[in-house]
Structure 1
Amino acid sequence: MAIMKSTTDFSEWLEGPELIALSGGDEADREYRLGTREYDWHRHARAQLFCVGNGLIHVQTPRGSWLLPPHRAGYVPPDTPHRVRVSGALSGWSVYLLPARCGLLPAQPCVLAITPLLQELVRRAASWRPDAPHGPEQQRIAAVILDEIRLAPREALHLPMPSDPRLQRIARAMLADPAADRSADEWAALGALSGRSLRRRIQTDTGMSFSRWRQQAQLVWAMERLASGRTVAQVSDALGYASPSNFIAMFRRALGAPPAQYLSAHGGEP
């Protein structure tokens, strides 16, 4: 009889089936443990796709951070350093993929929109024995899961971190106080730069304009608080918006839906 592996072993296991799916929860005996917890810097030999049905996951990599709200999937390629903060997630799932099957999948960590089909296929895969070879039907399901990951639209919740130490100093200050009413010149002074130089350098370093990066930082900050139970009015007031409707309009422009609809979209989990 094969020996059942722990979750850590599954993520490092380069033998066995190409795809291992685990259903998650906050119970102590769960193989994929959720709840509220932090995982310091680590990496997996396998790629990981994961989703929560409630709460929020904040993933940080050396090149940036991104948020995983409910009913979206986070993808981390094989051997990618990352750390994770899970907040209030009581249900969800994780899929571990052999590196050899990841050639057509995203090269960088990202947040993906997920379809009801992918949810249902993962639900079925989570019922398989993770240490048993796949039969023909399971191989077909695994192939469709890989296609669904490959074709899934990416969500705009990534916040790239600059590599320039001066820009990093400014970025950390902006993340610590996203509501601060400072001009580009005032932010730039924290890194001994001019406002013009800050705009040029952050565009080159992150691929985002200064105003877009600042808005993205506010979205990351807002999403964490909304997922933890803060109201739209509380979040919009904390960010300095004149009214909740102004904040909702910004949120809708950036993510395509108002906060309540965005956070509740695509329900269902294994």
Structure 2
Amino acid sequence: MLHKSREDRMKSTHQLDLSRRPVVALADEYPSGFVDTAHSHERIQLLYACSGVMSVVTDKTSFVIPPQRAVWIPSQVQHEVSCRGPVSLRTLYIDPRYERDDPDCHIVEVGQLLRALILEVTQFEHDYDLQGREGQIVSLLVSELLASPKVPYAAPMPTDPRLVRVCREIIEHPSDQRDIDQWADIAGMSRRSFTRAFKRETGMGVALWRQQVRLLEALSLLSTGSSVTSVAMDVGYDSASAFCAMFQRAFGVSPSRYSF
């Protein structure tokens, strides 16, 4: 993977005066395999890929972000961003006074209006007129973001480094078929200790957590045009029918709903 240090990332943003306007937007293009290593911001960050798929990992949660969604990252939250393929990224740096009550990252559903607002604000000069058209559009954008419901598509991350090692392996390879005993070996723990610790830290068993990761990966693959059958195989299901049944139970709709 192509890793980019925090210092390199700052080269893209050091010319932005993030204190002069309530929202400052930046457009970036990243290649497949790009990784923006763990870092945080003084401002809230909204990451929106208008094309391509990202994964975002924090100390608490793992997300997969297809183009129909964005991720809201509160100020000072450490996060790592990886590009599953070429990504056309639009980033909003938002004044911390707009922090929501929940201090954790969350997914935002990006409909046609919100997408249009994000893309429009990205075109503004960074010293746009607060009292004119630009200021009104930014105000509407912030209102839409604050009113947007949180989308519960995430996998909670453990804090124990041994469990994190296992979780990152599953995130990188969601079709991996290793069983509990093999994952416990990777963690360097007994099966009993591993399963108890995993459930204590994530709120679910390993099988359910892996299922969640597989479904999130499936969402991203479907959004890029992959067929239901190929997605089922790619995320570790034995058949498309088994995958469709699980997807329907989890999201209440058929996988074809997310194909574009």
The answer to whether TM tops 0.5 is yes
- Amino acid of the residue matched to residue 104 of structure 2? Q
Match of 1:27 in 2: none
Q: Identify if the C-alpha distance between structure 1 residues 51 and 183 changes in structure 2 by more than 3 Å, giving closer, same or farther.
A: same
- Aligned to 1:216, the other structure's residue is in SS state helix
Tell me, yes or no, if the aligned pair for 2:68 and 2:111 is still in contact at 8 Å.
Answer: no
Higher relative contact order (CA 8 A, sep 6+): 1
Match of 2:239 in 1: 243
**Paired-residue identity, %:** 29
Match of 1:64 in 2: 61
- Amino acid of the residue matched to residue 24 of structure 2? I
Tell me, yes or no, if the aligned pair for 1:70 and 1:263 is still in contact at 8 Å.
Answer: no
Match of 1:120 in 2: 116
Tell me, yes or no, if the aligned pair for 1:58 and 1:86 is still in contact at 8 Å.
Answer: yes
Matched, 1:33 2:29: yes
Q: Identify if the C-alpha distance between structure 1 residues 231 and 120 changes in structure 2 by more than 3 Å, giving closer, same or farther.
A: closer
- List runs of 5+ in structure 1 lacking aligned partners: 25-31, 265-270
* Alpha-carbon distance in structure 2 between the residues aligned to 1:14 and 1:54: 25
Match of 2:138 in 1: 142
* Alpha-carbon distance in structure 1 between the residues aligned to 2:77 and 2:233: 37
- Aligned to 1:53, the other structure's residue is in SS state strand
- Aligned to 2:116, the other structure's residue is in SS state helix
Q: How much has 1:147 moved relative to structure 2?
A: 2.4
1:154 pairs, out of 112, 131, 150, with 150
* Alpha-carbon distance in structure 2 between the residues aligned to 1:57 and 1:190: 26
Q: Identify if the C-alpha distance between structure 1 residues 116 and 213 changes in structure 2 by more than 3 Å, giving closer, same or farther.
A: same
Alpha-carbon displacement from aligned partner over 1:83-115 (angstroms, at most 9, x marks no partner):
222244464532211222x23265222221123
Match of 2:6 in 1: none
How many aligned residue pairs are there? 249
Q: How much has 1:51 moved relative to structure 2?
A: 1.7
Tell me, yes or no, if the aligned pair for 2:44 and 2:72 is still in contact at 8 Å.
Answer: yes
Q: Identify if the C-alpha distance between structure 1 residues 124 and 171 changes in structure 2 by more than 3 Å, giving closer, same or farther.
A: closer
Match of 1:9 in 2: 14
Q: Identify if the C-alpha distance between structure 1 residues 58 and 218 changes in structure 2 by more than 3 Å, giving closer, same or farther.
A: same
Match of 1:96 in 2: 93
* Alpha-carbon distance in structure 1 between the residues aligned to 2:89 and 2:173: 31
* Alpha-carbon distance in structure 2 between the residues aligned to 1:174 and 1:253: 22
* Alpha-carbon distance in structure 2 between the residues aligned to 1:118 and 1:225: 22
- List runs of 5+ in structure 2 lacking aligned partners: 1-9
